[in-house]
Amino acid sequence: MRYFILIFVILFTTLFPKQFEAEEMIKVKLVNYIGDTDKLNIVLEGGYQTLDPTLSLKEGVDYHVTVKNDSLYLQGEGKEQKINGPLVIIPETYDHDHAIYVNNRPYLGAMEFRIEENVIRPINQLPIEDYLKGVVPFEVFPSWHQEALKAQSLAARTYAYSHTKDEMDDTIHFQVYGGYNWNENTTKAVEETNSEVITFDNHLIDAFYSASNGGVTENNTHVWGGKAMSYFPIKKDPFDPTHPWEFTIHRTQISMNDINWDNSNWWDDVKEKDEEITLSMKKWLQNNGYPGDIKIVSIPRLELSEQQLNSKRTDKGSITVEFLHRLIDGTVLFEQFTLDDVKLNQIRPMIGGNQFKSYLISSLECNEDTYTMKGKGYGHGVGMSQWGANFMGESGKTYKEIIQFYYPGTLITTFTK
């Protein structure tokens, strides 16, 4: 596999040496808009070539890449061809007139299609500045103040350069990347800050950011452990709009007494009361030792520790979930899962980040029927608040002042290889 990827990189940079002699290339796994599938549609705009001299692709043809018997197949123009190894597609010229559409979403640069656990995984490779033009409009609102967009460009660029050796994807686990779906405002911000990055002690920082810190920034060690970095201080943020949130979840999701066990379709007929939250719980359980179908019966326990961090964020909590677990052979088991006095970053994914938005929790009210949690902020709170950056821009602050406020003691420098 490494052999194919190395050829992929060398050939792409060799074909266009003048364009990329001073610019880093980046590879991004496409997951967010693709999902896990054994069939993808691709259409080429402009001329492209492959590493296989027997394989010729034409512009505008509706192709399909599929997985069968652990091999890739390319279908199009009324024929099917088996691909020996990964399928690598490279533009004859790197420009905006050459794009590869994957399930109707355009991407610049080269594309590798490989098999990953019986699904097709595309890998997009392109210059890092063009990658950023596909990141910034998906990480913030393009209508925001231009200085905030510039600050976001620096944070995204620094983050990208810090992870060039990692196998990044296009999801929130790294940075959301939307391909060649650019916006005029964010493209301008990327271009006007070309190659600028954030450094500390002559090294790139991990330029973390989140949507909203709730009015108080957080230190990196409280979230991910490790050494506490001075440029991630805990301090009040007067620019962040705090973003209050709350969610309510019922203790009892399914009444066992109401199930008609004699009905052969009872499993399909039974629904939880809070379907969005319980869907998140079911996915979490399935990925953590309980494969198969799940119905959440109840949440008899949801508690928060009284212990708080210096940032006033809650550190630990407990949860118990009772559920029905249907195995492959149809057997249904009653199961119970408990997390007792654990870090909240283990519980939050069970409930879902769109509901349980941060660890800056104001209250947890419990009664016989429900739990109601209230808090402020959206995300981990480390580094730049994206909403706060926008308010700073609107109040007349420059992107350099925004960077200095959220990453104090750092320098803005020009990246060089």
Which residues, 6 or more positions from 415, have their beta carbon under 8 angstroms from its beta carbon? 24, 157, 161, 195, 196, 197, 204
Question: Which pLDDT belongs to residue 279?
Answer: 96
Which residues, 6 or more positions from 35, have their beta carbon under 8 angstroms from its beta carbon? none
pLDDT over 80 at 24, yes or no: yes
pLDDT over 80 at 343, yes or no: yes
* Mean pLDDT, range 357-378, rounded to an integer: 97
More confident site: 351 or 10: 351
Question: Which pLDDT belongs to residue 167?
Answer: 83
Question: Which pLDDT belongs to residue 10?
Answer: 47
Question: Which pLDDT belongs to residue 166?
Answer: 85
Question: Which pLDDT belongs to residue 355?
Answer: 96
- Count of CA atoms in the C-beta half-sphere (13 A) of 95: 6
Mean residue pLDDT across the chain: 92
pLDDT over 60 at 22, yes or no: no
Question: Which pLDDT belongs to residue 3?
Answer: 40
Question: Which pLDDT belongs to residue 11?
Answer: 53
Domain boundaries, the chain: 2-126, 149-241+381-414, 244-376
Under a CB-based contact definition with an 8 Å cutoff, are residues 405 and 392 in contact? yes
Question: Which pLDDT belongs to residue 12?
Answer: 54
pLDDT level of residue 237 (50, 70, 90 thresholds) = very high
Q: How many CB atoms lie within 10 A of CB 155?
A: 29
Question: Which pLDDT belongs to residue 117?
Answer: 87
Question: Which pLDDT belongs to residue 20?
Answer: 46
pLDDT of 138-180, one tens digit each? 999 999 999 999 999 999 999 999 998 888 999 988 999 999 9
Give the separation between CA 12 and CA 92, rounded to whole angstroms. 9
Give this prediction's pTM: 0.87
Under a CB-based contact definition with an 8 Å cutoff, are residues 249 and 255 in contact? no
Question: Which pLDDT belongs to residue 1?
Answer: 44
pLDDT over 80 at 38, yes or no: yes
More confident site: 207 or 4: 207
* Mean pLDDT, range 293-306, rounded to an integer: 97
pLDDT over 90 at 195, yes or no: yes
Which residues, 6 or more positions from 416, have their beta carbon under 8 angstroms from its beta carbon? none
Question: Which pLDDT belongs to residue 247?
Answer: 97
pLDDT level of residue 300 (50, 70, 90 thresholds) = very high
Percent with pLDDT over 90 in the chain: 85
- Count of CA atoms in the C-beta half-sphere (13 A) of 167: 8
Question: Which pLDDT belongs to residue 23?
Answer: 66
pLDDT over 90 at 27, yes or no: yes
Amino acid in the structure at residue 291: P
Q: Which of 9-23, 121-135, 263-277 has the lowest mean pLDDT?
A: 9-23
pLDDT level of residue 69 (50, 70, 90 thresholds) = confident
